[in-house]
Amino acid sequence: MPAFQAKDAKQIGEVIAWAAAEEQPLEVRAGGSKRALGRPMQTEHVLDISALSGITEYEAPELVLTAGAATPLAEIDAALAQKNQMIAFEPADWRHLLGADGTKPTIGGVLACNLSGPRRIKAGAARDHFLGFQAVNGRGELFKAGGKVVKNVTGYDLNKLYAGAYGTLGVLTEVTIKVLPKPETVRTVLVPCLEDTTAIEVLTEGLNSPHEVSGAAYLPPNITRRSQAGTVAQSQGGVALLRVEGPEPSTAYRSEQLTDMLGRYGPAALLGESETERLWEALRDVRLLAEPPDRYVWRLSVTPSRGASVACDIARSVDAEYLLDWGGGLIWVSISATAPDAGADAVRTAVRTHGGGHATLVRAPENVRAAVSVFEPLPGPLAALTARVKEGFDPRRILNPGRMYAGI
Amino acid sequence: MVAMPAPDQAVLTRREEIIAALRQIVPGEGVIDTVPERRAYETDGLTAYRQLPMVVVLPSTTDQVSQVLRYCQQNNVKVVPRGAGTSLSGGALPLEDGVLLGMAKFNRILEIDIPNRCAVVQPGVTNLGITTAVQDQGFYYAPDPSSQIACTIGGNIAENSGGVHCLKYGLTTNNVLGIEVVLMNGEIVRLGGKYFDPPGYDLMGVLTGSEGLLGVVTEVTVRLTRKAPTARAILLGFPTSEEGGKCVADIIAAGIIPGGMEMMDKPAIHAAEDFVHAGYPLDVEALLIVELDGPAPEVDHLIAKVEEIAARNGAVTSRTSRNEEERQLFWAGRKAAFPAVGRISPDYYCMDGTIPRKALPLVLARMREMSERYGLGVANVFHAGDGNLHPLIMYDANKPGELERTEEFGADILRLCVEVGGVLTGEHGVGVEKRDLMDSMFNETDLAQQQRLKCAFDPNGLLNPGKVFPKLHRCAELGRVHVHRGQLGFPDLPRF
C-alpha cells in the first residue's frame, strides 16, 4: 500500500489536510506492531509517522518524560532503566499474540490503544499516566492538550479521550507521560487452588489486604503446565498468584504475611525475583494463550468477583480456555477456530449475565474481524455521542476510519 | 473582574413561564424563586464573584434532571450545575438568566461493595461521607481535597479534585470506575461500572474535570483503597527553599513516593505556628513534611532513608513522629495554613498553579519581587511531590482597588507558572477565575479543538457557559470545514 512518510508534525498536517480535502482515508502507522488489532480498514493510503521518534525531555526527579509519538518503547524503557524508573502501567507487548514479531511497538501506539498490564490494578492504566500531547486533528491542524507536569486540570482532559481512541481522533506527534520509580524487589506468592471460585476468594483476600498487591492472577490447571516459571509449571492444579513489589524489608514482610494469611487454602510457595519477572511478563503478553495461533483470543473486563462465573459460562457453551488477571476483573479467553461468530455470542452473553463489562476480540483473521464486533457494541445514545465526538475531531472521517466501530 | 456572558433578555422576560414549567417537572420545594432563598446560591468558594440565579432547581431523581435539561435545551435556557458550592475557581457561579441546578438531594450511598473494592453513590454525597461509610471495614476513598468535609463527589468529578495524597494515590480521575450522566438534550448515558476501562472512547475520563460544561453526573462508582496500616511523618526545616527543593528531588530520585510531601515557606510557617502551635521551627525558610505510609517494616525502612537524604541536603530541623498524636500535630499546622493566613490578613486569595519542581526557587524569588511591586504579602504552601503550588495573596477587600491588584498579582503568578513549563491550575479548575488566562497556555487552535468537544455534548452552549473558555464560539462556526484543494506540500517525498 502506498505510504506517506512524514518527517515531522508539519508534514503530517499537510498530508491530513490533503486527505481531508480529497476525502482519502488514511491508515496511521508507526511501529506497525498492532495492525492486526481492531476492525480491518478500507484505506487507500498509509500515513507513516515512524520518523517522529526520540526522547525530547526526561528529568527523572520530575517523574515526567516527553518523546516523539513513534519512539520505540524499548528506547524509552532503556532510558528509564538507567534512572531506576519505569512506565508503571506495564504496557503489554502483544507482538507474538498478533503475529507481529520483529516489529517495534511505540509509545504512541501503546497510548492510542490504552494497553495496560497486570499492574493496572494498583498503578492505573495507560490513560492514567498520559499527561499531555501534541497531535494533528482530522482537519490537518496541529494542536496541544494537557501539560508536562504530573498534576494539571487546565482545560478538558483530552489525554483520556486519545488513550484508547485507536488513532481515530487525531495523529499523536509528541506525548508526555508520567513515569515512576522501579520497585527495588519483587516477589510472588503462589497459592494452589483447585476451583476457580476459590481462586477468586484468594485473589480478593489478597487485594483487600493492606499488602499492596500489584498483580493478582489465576491460572487454571490446563494453563499452568505451559508456564516458563518452574514452580508454576510443576504445580499439579490451578494456582492463584499474588505479586508484591517494593523495598526488600517490605516485600519480605508482605509476602510472608500473605503466605500466612492464605495458608489455609493450601501450601503457599514463594517465587523469587527472576521467576516472578518471567511469570508476569508472560501474563502481560498473553503468552500462555498464544498457541495454537489459529484460536480466537478475547479480552474481557468485568466485575472482579464475577470473573470465574463469566469464564465458566463461556467454557460451558464453546470450546474455550482462559486465565484470569486483575483479581478476576480481566479474563483472557482463547476459543476454538471452529466456533461460530468467533464465540462472540457466548462471550458477550456471559458478560451481560454477570453484571456487565466489555469484551474485545483481540486476535482473529481479518475476515472474522470484519464480520464480528471487535469492540463492545455501544448502546444507542452512547453510539450517537461517540459519532458526534468523532465529528468534532475528524469531520471527514479520514483517520483510521472504522478501526473501532463502523462510521467512526 | 471577569465578565460573564450578557443575559438573554428573551429568557428573562419569560421567567414566570419558565418557573411554572420547571415546577411541573420538580414539584414542591424543589423550585426556589424568592430572592432571599436564591441568595444562598449566589456564590461559591470564589466569594469575590456573586450573581443571583434566575431560579434554583433542586431535583431528586435522574428522570427529573433529564426533564429539566431537555426543557432548558428546548427553551434555550442556560443551566449551571452545583454540588456543595465549594469551588475555588467560580465553577458554580450562577447566571442572571440561568437555572442553578443544585444536586444536594442526591445524597444517598447506594451500595458498598467491599469484595470489588468500590462504592456506588449519588453525586451529592460528600467526599468524606464515602470514607466515613467504609472506614470500619478498613477502606477509604483516596482523593482528599481540603474541603472534603463539605465538597461532594459530583463536584469532585466536575473539577477532577486532588488533595495532599494524590502523587501516590491519584486524583479523582484515577479513582472513578463509572458514572451515569445526563446530557443537555436529556439523554441518560452510563459510562463504565464496576470494571476497568469502559469500551469505546473514554468519555468518563473527559467528563472528569470538565467543570460542569459537558453533562450532569447523577451516579458515581468510586474505587475504594485499603487503609495503610502505618503512617509516620518527618518534619524537616531548611535554611533555603533551594535545599528543601533539592531534598524533595533526591527523595524521589531514590525511588521513594511518599504518601504526602508538603512544603511551606516562611510566611506560611509563621502564620500556621502562631495559629495552632504545631512546634514548627521559625528560623527556617522552608519547612517540609514527608509522610510515609504502608506496612510498618516498609515505613521504618523508608523513614531512615529520608532522614539520611534530608541530613545530606542540609536540614537544620529533622523530627520524626513517634506516635499518631505527633504525626497529627505535624499536619495540624499545614492543614490550618489557609485559615491561619486568614487570621493575619482581612482577606486572602488562593492561587493554584503547577510547576516543574526544579523551578521552585526561581518561582519563589520572582514571586517575592512581585509581592514588593504590588505591595501585597504572599504565603506559599506547596504540594512538593507533584509541583502544585498554592500561593496565598493577602489583601483587604475593603481597601479600594486592592482586590483588583490582587487579581493582577495572581494572574502574574499563573503566567509565571506557565512560563517555567507548568500549568494554570493543578486542582482548583479554570472556572471563571482563570478563564481569561487560558490563552497564555493554549493558542486559538488548541482552544477551538476543546470547544468542538463541547459541541458534541452541548451544541447550543447552554451548560455552564462563561466558564473555562475566554471566547464563546458558535458550534456551527467551529464545525465548518474549510477545504483547501491543491498540491500536497512535499512532492519530493517517496510515497507511492
Q: Does A208 touch chain B (CB under 8 A)?
A: yes
Residue whose cell numbers read 470500619: B136
Query: Number of helices (H) and strands (E), helices first, in chain B?
Result: 17, 19
State mean pLDDT over B78-104.
97
CB contact under 8 A, B203 and A386: yes
Determine the distance in angstroms separating the CA of A31 from the nearest CA of chain B, rounded to an integer: 17
Please identify among residues 313-372 of chain B the ones whose CB lies closer than 8 Å to any CB of chain A.
354-358
Determine the distance in angstroms separating the CA of B458 from the nearest CA of chain A, rounded to an integer: 10
Residue A149 sits at the vertex; the CA angle it makes with A144 and A150, to the nearest 5 degrees, is 115
Considering CB atoms only, which of B160, B174, B196 is closest to A329?
A: B196
Whole-number Cα distances in Å, A39 to A47, B21, B446: 18, 47, 30
Determine if the peptide bond prior to B53 is cis (ω within 30°). no
**Following DSSP, what letter does each residue of B32-93 receive, concatenated?**
E-SHHHHHTTS--S-TT-----SEEE---SHHHHHHHHHHHHHTT-EEEEESSS--SS-TT-
Q: Does A272 touch chain B (CB under 8 A)?
A: no
Please identify among residues 96-155 of chain B the ones whose CB lies closer than 8 Å to any CB of chain A.
114-117, 138
Considering CB atoms only, which of A22, A150, A204 is closest to B386?
A: A150
* Model confidence band, residue B484 (pLDDT cutoffs 50, 70, 90): low
Lowest mean pLDDT across A162-166, A240-244, B333-337, B409-413: B333-337
Above pLDDT 70, what percent of chain B? 97
Please identify among residues 122-141 of chain A the ones whose CB lies closer than 8 Å to any CB of chain B.
124-125, 127-128, 137, 139, 141
Classify the complex by whether its ipTM is higher than 0.85, answering yes or no.
yes
Q: From chain B, pick out residues whose CB is under 8 angstroms from the CB of A310.
A: none
Determine the distance in angstroms separating the CA of A234 from the nearest CA of chain B, rounded to an integer: 30
Query: Rounded mean pLDDT of chain B?
Result: 95
Whole-number Cα distances in Å, B211 to A130, A253, B46, B161: 20, 44, 14, 11
A243-288: pLDDT as tens digits = 999 999 999 999 999 999 999 999 999 999 999 999 999 999 999 9
Cell numbers given for A399: 483517520
Whole-number Cα distances in Å, A331 to A285, A295, B98, B388: 13, 16, 47, 38
Considering CB atoms only, which of B387, B448, B485 is closest to A149?
A: B387
Give the per-residue pLDDT at A267. 92
Q: Does A167 touch chain B (CB under 8 A)?
A: no
Contacts of A284 (CB under 8 A, 6+ apart): A90, A92, A93, A117, A118
The stretches of B357-479 forming alpha helices (DSSP H) are: 360-374, 402-419, 444-457, 475-479
CB contact under 8 A, B301 and A18: no
The stretches of B104-237 forming alpha helices (DSSP H) are: 127-134, 153-159, 166-169, 203-207
Lowest mean pLDDT across B8-22, B122-136, B473-487: B473-487
Instruction: Give Cα A245 to chain centroid, integer Å.
Output: 21
A282-311: pLDDT as tens digits = 999 999 999 999 999 999 999 999 999 999
Q: Residue B356 carries which side chain, given as an amino acid letter?
A: P
pLDDT at B62 over 50: yes
B419-478: pLDDT as tens digits = 999 999 999 999 999 999 999 999 999 999 999 999 999 999 999 999 999 998 899 999
Give the per-residue pLDDT at B446. 98
Q: From chain A, pick out residues whose CB is under 8 angstroms from the CB of B250.
A: 61
Is residue B349 within 8 A of residue B395, CB to CB? The reply is yes
The domains located in chain A, with CATH, are: 48-181 (3.30.465.10), 185-284 (3.30.70.2190), 287-364 (3.30.70.920)
Considering CB atoms only, which of B355, B453, B494 is closest to A156?
A: B453
Please identify among residues 196-255 of chain B the ones whose CB lies closer than 8 Å to any CB of chain A.
196-206, 208-210, 226-229, 248-250, 252-255
Query: Could you tell me how many CB contacts below 8 A there are between chain A and chain B?
Result: 301
The domains located in chain B, with CATH, are: 9-102 (3.30.43.10), 109-226 (3.30.465.10), 230-338 (3.30.70.3450), 345-437 (3.30.70.2740)
Q: From chain B, pick out residues whose CB is under 8 angstroms from the CB of A209.
A: 226
The SS3 of residue B160 is: coil
Considering CB atoms only, which of A154, A182, A253 is closest to B424?
A: A154
Considering CB atoms only, which of B174, B443, B452 is closest to A393?
A: B452
Q: Does B301 touch chain A (CB under 8 A)?
A: yes
B181-203: pLDDT as tens digits = 999 999 999 999 999 999 999 99
Considering CB atoms only, which of A158, A254, A360 is closest to B295?
A: A254
Q: Which of B340-344, B435-439, B489-493 has the highest mean pLDDT?
A: B435-439
Residue A106 sits at the vertex; the CA angle it makes with A101 and A108, to the nearest 5 degrees, is 140
Q: From chain B, pick out residues whose CB is under 8 angstroms from the CB of A378.
A: 199-200
Q: Does B35 touch chain A (CB under 8 A)?
A: no
Q: Does B476 touch chain A (CB under 8 A)?
A: no
Give the per-residue pLDDT at B485. 63
Q: Which stretches in chain A have pLDDT values below 70?
A: 1
Give the per-residue pLDDT at B496. 39
